[in-house]
Structure formats: structure tokens, C-alpha cells
């Protein structure tokens, strides 16, 4: 699992995840992910186009960041998930985390 920061400034954190959000993947990136999301306290756009699988541990990690950001009045939006990941989010009832657009130029301004 890989985590890449695209943009981290005073207004937004834009990052991309690549690989599998399973036990090993979450163990690889969870501390860094939470540091770049929940700890920063800025709106987050997480590009999931490179995530091929998400387990319940991946859901837990994302929900942890979502709730921490929500307590700070900020948002987490998941962007461009592949079909299996989108289905996992839907089955878990987490459609609200999905960005309304697959266009980064539209999704980023909608975070505020």
C-alpha cells in the first residue's frame, strides 16, 4: 500500500492511495494517513482510483479520519474509487463519503 501527498496546504489535503486496504496495507499506511488527514484538520480529498480492494480494516481507518475531521468541522471525501471499493462503501452505508464528481477541479472546491 502506498500513500502519496499531492497537495497539503492551509486549505486542503489531497492525497492518493494505491494498493490494497487490507490488514497489511492498513498497517503500512495508517499512521501516516491519520497524520496527513485527522491530525492536520484540513478538508481531505482522497483519490482511491489505485485501491483495488478494501477490507473492514480499511473502512475503519477511513471512518476514523472522517469522524476526527468532522469533530473539527472538516470533511473527508473519497474520490474515484474503483467499482469493488465503491460497492464496499455502498454496502457499509458510507456513500456520504464519496465526492460528487470524478473531476478533481470540481471535487476540490466542494470540500469547503
Mean pLDDT of the chain: 91
**CB burial string 30-55: b at 16+ within 10 A, e below:** beebeebbbebebbbbbbbeebeebe
What is the C-alpha to C-alpha distance for residues 45 and 106, in angstroms, rounded to an integer? 11
Q: What is the pLDDT of residue 48?
A: 94
User: Which of the residues in the chain have pLDDT under 70?
Assistant: 100-101, 109-112
Q: What is the pLDDT of residue 90?
A: 92
Set out the domains of the chain in order of their start, with CATH numbers: 2-111 (3.30.750.24)
Q: What is the pLDDT of residue 102?
A: 72
Amino acid at each position: 500500500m502506498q500513500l502519496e501527498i499531492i497537495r497539503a496546504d492551509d486549505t486542503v489535503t489531497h492525497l492518493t492511495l494505491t494498493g490494497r486496504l487490507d490488514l497489511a496495507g492498513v498497517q503500512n499506511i495508517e499512521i501516516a494517513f491519520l497524520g496527513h488527514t485527522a491530525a492536520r484538520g484540513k478538508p481531505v480529498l482522497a483519490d482511491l482510483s489505485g485501491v483495488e480492494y478494501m477490507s473492514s480494516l480499511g473502512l475503519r481507518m477511513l471512518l476514523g479520519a472522517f469522524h476526527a475531521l468532522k469533530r473539527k468541522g472538516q470533511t473527508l471525501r473519497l474520490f474515484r474509487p474503483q467499482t469493488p471499493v465503491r460497492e464496499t462503501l455502498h454496502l457499509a452505508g458510507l456513500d456520504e463519503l464519496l465526492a460528487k464528481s470524478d473531476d478533481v477541479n470540481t471535487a476540490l472546491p466542494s470540500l469547503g
